[in-house]
Amino acid sequence: MKVVVFCKSVPDTETRVKLKDNRLDKSEIKYILNPYDEYAVEEAVRMKEAGKVDEVIAISMGPERAREALRSALAIGADRGILVKDDALDGSDTYVTAKVLVKALEKDGVDYGMLLFGQQAIDGDTWHVPGQVAEMLGLPQTGSIIKLEVDPDAGKAVANRLVEGGEEVHEMSLPCVVTCRKGLNEPRYPSLPNIMKAKRKPIQDYSIADLDLSPEEVGKAGSFTEVLYYSLPPKKEAGKKVEGEPEEVVQALVKFLKDEIKVI
């Protein structure tokens, strides 16, 4: 069975967000492979090591820096990569992203048994693309999985999905879509030979023309939603510090917990 893992190049979690001309200032940003995608790649590679999968393909839609994200996936153990890169893709919303990725899969012609995603990209935080891809391809999906069992011969997969108050266990026929999250596995630290080998694994580049898409169908032009405005959330008041009689401070704390955090 072949599986495809969807990867995104995202800013590291510690990134300080700065805005410039109503856009994100990317000058001081370190980009990494989306941590949620790491769970997906790790799971795919483990399936390969268990003999259930014979090829793991990593795919990404993004600017040139997405190539690094693919290399990270290859270092973990993916076999080859696909990068869809085109200036016209700038400003694409999740629907367009899903559309483009589906086209790339078709163009590549891979006969996949499973499509693995990270639950969310830590920059967009939408959770959209996996479901949109699944719907476009008419595939079953289980999101936010913390356990996966696959039987390629029987053409079935069983996944445990984390929901409020417990886990849903879904049985799906292959091919299917899953989105991965923390708790599914512990991503390995890639060995240096694998990091080096990854530099030589093949990455196929596609432009939108290769996918028979026109500029009007992608990017801002082809999107259903657009970003109108970026703003920074109201600055967290430099932590309040209260001192005094226990009764007083507790009252203040309770108010904070109740009204501002709404945890009570």
Partner 1 sequence: MINPQEITRHVCWNIPLLFKILVYVGGLGTIALAVWSVYQRVQIWKKGREEDRKDNLKERLIFAAKNVFFHTRILKDQYPGIMHLAIFWGFLVLLIGTILVAIEADVPFVHFYYGAFYLLVSLALDIAGLVLIIGICMALYRRLKEKPDRLQPEKAEDNLILYLLLAVAVTGFLTEAVRIAAQGFPKFELYSIVGFILAIPLNIVGINGTLAHRFFWFIHMVCSFAFIAYIGYSKLLHIVVTPASIVFRDRRSYGVVDPIPDMEEAESFGLTKIEELSWKQLMDLDACMRCGRCQEACPAHSTDKPLSPKNLIQDLKEHMNDRLAKGKDPEECTPYQKISDDVLWACTTCAACMEECPAYIEHIDKIVEMRRYLSLMEGRIPEELNQTFRNMENNYNPWGVGFANRADWAEGLDIPLLSENGSAEYLLWVGCAGAYDDRYKKVLKALVEILKAANIDFAILGTEEKCCGDWARRLGNEYLFWMMAVENVEVLNGYNVRKVITACPHGYHTLKNEYPQFGGNYQVIHHTQLIAQLLEEGKISLKKSLEGTFTYHDSCYLGRHNGIYDEPRKILQRLGLSLKEMEKNREKGFCCGAGGGRMWLEEKTGTRINYVRCDHALALNPQGIATACPFCLTMFDDGLKAKDKIEEIQLKDIAELVAEAIK
Partner 2 sequence: MSVWVIADQRNGALRKPAFEALSEGRRLAGELGTNMEAVIVGHNVEGLCNEIASYGAEKVYLIDHELLATYNPLAYARAIGDLVKEKQPQIVLMGGTMTGRDLMPRIAARVGAGLAPDCIKLEIVDGKLKATRPAIAGKVRVEIGYKSDIQMAILRPNVFEKLEPDSSKSAEVEKVPFEPTDLDTKQKLVEFISKETGRPELTEAEVIVSGGRGMKAPENFAIIEELADLLGAAVGASRAAVDAGWRPQSDQVGQTGKTVSPNLYIAVGISGAIQHLAGMSSSKFIVAVNKDPDAPIFNVADFGVVGDLFKVVPLLNEEVKKIKAQEG
Would you count residue 236 as binding partner 2 (CB under 8 A)? yes
Binding mask 31-70 for partner 1 (x = CB under 8 A): -x--------------------------------------
| 69 or 150: CB nearest partner 1 | 69
Find the part of the chain contacting partner 1 (CB under 8 A) among 10-18, 107-115, 157-165, 202-210: 10-18
Would you count residue 196 as binding partner 1 (CB under 8 A)? yes
Range 196-209 burial, b when 16+ CB lie within 10 A, else e: eebeebebeebebe
Would you count residue 14 as binding partner 1 (CB under 8 A)? yes
Q: Which does 188 bind (CB under 5 to 8 A by kind): partner 2, partner 1, none?
A: partner 1
Q: Which of residues 168-187 bind partner 1 (CB under 8 A)?
A: 186-187
Name which position in 63, 91, 131, 215 contacts partner 2 (CB under 8 A).
Answer: 131
Would you count residue 245 as binding partner 1 (CB under 8 A)? no
Pairing of the two strands 31-33 and 112-118: unpaired
CB atoms under 10 Å from CB of 166, counted, come to: 9
Q: How far from chain centre, in Å, is Cα 177?
A: 13
Q: Which does 110 bind (CB under 5 to 8 A by kind): partner 2, partner 1, none?
A: none
Would you count residue 138 as binding partner 1 (CB under 8 A)? no
Would you count residue 11 as binding partner 2 (CB under 8 A)? yes
Q: Taking a C-beta distance cutoff of 8 angstroms, is the pair 60, 9 a contact?
A: yes
Name which position in 9, 60, 142, 185 contacts partner 2 (CB under 8 A).
Answer: 142
Q: Taking a C-beta distance cutoff of 8 angstroms, is the pair 129, 40 a contact?
A: no
For the residues of 45-56, what is the DSSP string, one character each? Answer: HHHHHTTS-SEE
Q: Which are the contacts of 261, defined by CB distance < 8 A and separation ≥ 6?
A: none
Q: Which does 162 bind (CB under 5 to 8 A by kind): partner 1, partner 2, none?
A: partner 2
The two structure tokens encoding residue 235? 């600055």
Rounded Cα gap, residues 254 and 242, in angstroms: 12
> Which amino acid, 6?
F
Would you count residue 125 as binding partner 2 (CB under 8 A)? yes
> Which has the closest alpha carbon to 35: 74, 8, 5?
8
Residues near partner 1 (CB under 8 A) are 12-16, 28, 30, 32, 186-196
